Chains A and B, each alone.
Chain A
Amino acid sequence: MSVVEYEIDRPLVRFWLELSRSRLAVVGLVSTTALVLVAILAPIIAPQNPYDLTQIDFLDGELPPLSISPSGQTYWLGTDAQGRDMLSAIIFGLRASFTVAFSAGALALVAGTTLGLIAAYARGRIDTIVMRLAEIQMSFPAILLALMLLAVFGRGIDKTIIALALVQWAFYARTVRGAAIAEREKEYVLACRLLKLPRWRILVSHLLPNVLPPLLVIASVQLASAITLEATLSFLGLGLPLTEPSLGLLIANGFDYILSGQGWISFYPGVALLIVIVSINLLADRLREMSNPRLKR
């Protein structure tokens, strides 16, 4: 009859209970985890190493999905023009996409959090400058800024990571600054100061639990957005170099073959990209719902 509400004091368990109320979110979490594992284990699971020219037979070029090579290898998703197994290329492409997105996310998180904290505690002019920069950055579409930056930097994994971090830091900075300012005004911070506890301990122990949920939401949304952005930039010829093809570059490489009827070369990498982004977005949607009490049901 009656609904028993009890407090669970283990945050991870509580988090999981709340998250798992949405079946789609669980699907998203499982699928995202699986994809990350595939990316990490790429060299072990992939049927061949698509970068190792000795494993690639040029004569097997442009084979449709499910073809079997003379050497007895099955190409589940076909091959590209160079005879590279598309399934392997996709698995390694996933690895490249995740590497860029996670690195950019981590960089943006660290940079944004630091700047947000500095802005909140330094106040005054520094605060104004940091927040004005964030404002300008956020008033332009990410693709446009990233494109400008890469046009200046040139191609490359490191440059792409930096460009993506530069278009994402502001979201973290704004959130952290807001939370830090709210926290700063509270009484216990004053109490801590009177007790002469070091500032960083105040920050870590009180601020962190408050900013963690919104940061998690931003991080998940930005992860999906970074993957799409990188793919798009690579497609435009401004992202990753040809030697390390991400999913976006695989799709771009297949573009020319679409018109001649070999659609699978860009179809399957696209499906993989779509699955990655949908998985992350399902998770991100639930995280956002959980952190917004108005949407809680």
Chain B
Amino acid sequence: MTSPEADQDGPVLDIRDVSIVFDTAGGILPAVDGLNLRVNRGEVLGLVGESGSGKSLTGFAIMGALDPPGRVAEGQILFCGADLTQMSDAELRRLRGNRLAMILQDPMLTLNPTLTIGTQIIEAIRAHRSVSQSEARALAVQAMQTVGIGEPERRLSSYPHEYSGGMRQRVAIAIALLHTPDLIIADEPTTALDVTVQAQILLEVRRLVEALGSAWIWISHDLSVVAGLADRIAVMYAGRIVEEGPTEAVLRHPKHPYTRGLLQSAPENPPLDDGKLWQIPGSAPSLANRVTGCRFRPRCPRADEACGTQPPDQGQQHRFACWHAYDEALGQ
């Protein structure tokens, strides 16, 4: 097998026909299927979908950290050319936190309440680099400065509960960036924060994206958050990618009715006559309730008999899976 070092020119991440399933007492439940996704070096990919669409699962699958009973049932996840699904636990562990990093949603829950911030940063440094305790401490101070935490020396010996939510998320980001990974997966890292803190963190991240040259997958349920950050956007619905392309193209010329629905229901849009925001009718299906064919069919204004079969992926730079894709730009 090829080591992740071999391929320096191809995409950082190439997911090929991956499906993720849950083994349950009642049989195997597919959560994500036919997933194809590429992330190039230094690129930010926005992965957008409602909760339950499989976007977080995809993130954990890339990290090789799916909680049982979830598992990758088929397909390849090529990281710098090497298949992550074929790696041993030890090989994966060497990559995790080192060349592949992940930031979780709720900063209040991410850090261990019984260990100091210093301990939690230093152990992450020493997991991948053989440095002395004092060198690691110096690196930890540096890492905290990078994400804009003041008085890092003193704050290293604090416990998470002495930090605000925004500060904790900065620490989590600092930990993810420690070894300048090739790919960082950010699983809605600003959703749990106040709006003002959210804006600060986003600003910080935008600076870091440019400074570090790492590739990012930014998972979010909010297209507007991703719009200002991502080079490309992929939209997931019920375990499948329904549309994927350059940010501009997806936002201006959304092909898939679901993407259109998401954009139209964004809070920036003018409210309807009754003062409420427009919403996609119905709700996202649970794992056990998905229909065959196009899964958006029950909620789609354009659905007909053709949608009973799964539409193939169409397009090159701007991919979509729909029998009745829109050609015109949004708002026309």
Contacts and interface: CB of A to CB of B under 8 A. Distances in A.
Interface string B51-88: 00000000000000000000000000000000000000
A60 to B, nearest CB: 55
A2 interface: yes
At the interface, is chain A mostly helix, strand, loop or mixed? loop
B contact patch SS = helix
Contacts of A2: 288-289
Interface in B276-321: 288-289
Contacts of A3: 288
Interface string A1-31: 1110000000000000000000000000000
Contacts, number: 5
B260 to A, nearest CB: 28
Contacts of A1: 288-289
A188 B54 CA distance: 43
A3 B289 CA distance: 9
Contacts of B288: 1-3
Interface string B7-29: 00000000000000000000000
Interface string B159-203: 000000000000000000000000000000000000000000000
Interface residues of B, number: 2
A3 B24 CA distance: 14
B192 to A, nearest CB: 21
Nearest to B289: A2
Interface residues of A, number: 3
B2 to A, nearest CB: 42
A3 B288 CA distance: 8
A1 B288 CA distance: 7
A1 B27 CA distance: 11
A3 B29 CA distance: 13
A2 B289 CA distance: 6
Nearest to A1: B288
A2 B285 CA distance: 11
A184 B256 CA distance: 54
Contacts of B289: 1-2
A37 B5 CA distance: 74
B25 to A, nearest CB: 11
A5 to B, nearest CB: 11
A111 to B, nearest CB: 41
B67 to A, nearest CB: 15
A2 to B, nearest CB: 5
A274 to B, nearest CB: 32
A152 to B, nearest CB: 46
Nearest to A2: B289
A2 B288 CA distance: 6
A296 to B, nearest CB: 16
Interface in B240-295: 288-289
Interface string A208-252: 000000000000000000000000000000000000000000000
A22 to B, nearest CB: 14
Nearest to B26: A3
A25 B65 CA distance: 35
B142 to A, nearest CB: 41
B11 to A, nearest CB: 38
A2 B291 CA distance: 11
A65 B289 CA distance: 61
A3 B287 CA distance: 11
B295 to A, nearest CB: 14
A23 to B, nearest CB: 14
B26 to A, nearest CB: 9
B309 to A, nearest CB: 19
A120 to B, nearest CB: 33
B193 to A, nearest CB: 26
A1 B26 CA distance: 10
A68 B288 CA distance: 64
Interface in A104-129: none
A69 to B, nearest CB: 54
B285 to A, nearest CB: 10
A86 to B, nearest CB: 45
A21 to B, nearest CB: 12
B143 to A, nearest CB: 36
Interface in A153-188: none
A10 to B, nearest CB: 27
B231 to A, nearest CB: 39
A241 to B, nearest CB: 53
A7 to B, nearest CB: 19
B288 to A, nearest CB: 6
A1 B286 CA distance: 11
A86 B289 CA distance: 60
Interface of A: 1-3
Q: Which 3 A-B pairs have the closest CB atoms?
A: A2-B289, A2-B288, A3-B288
5 contacts: A1-B288, A1-B289, A2-B288, A2-B289, A3-B288
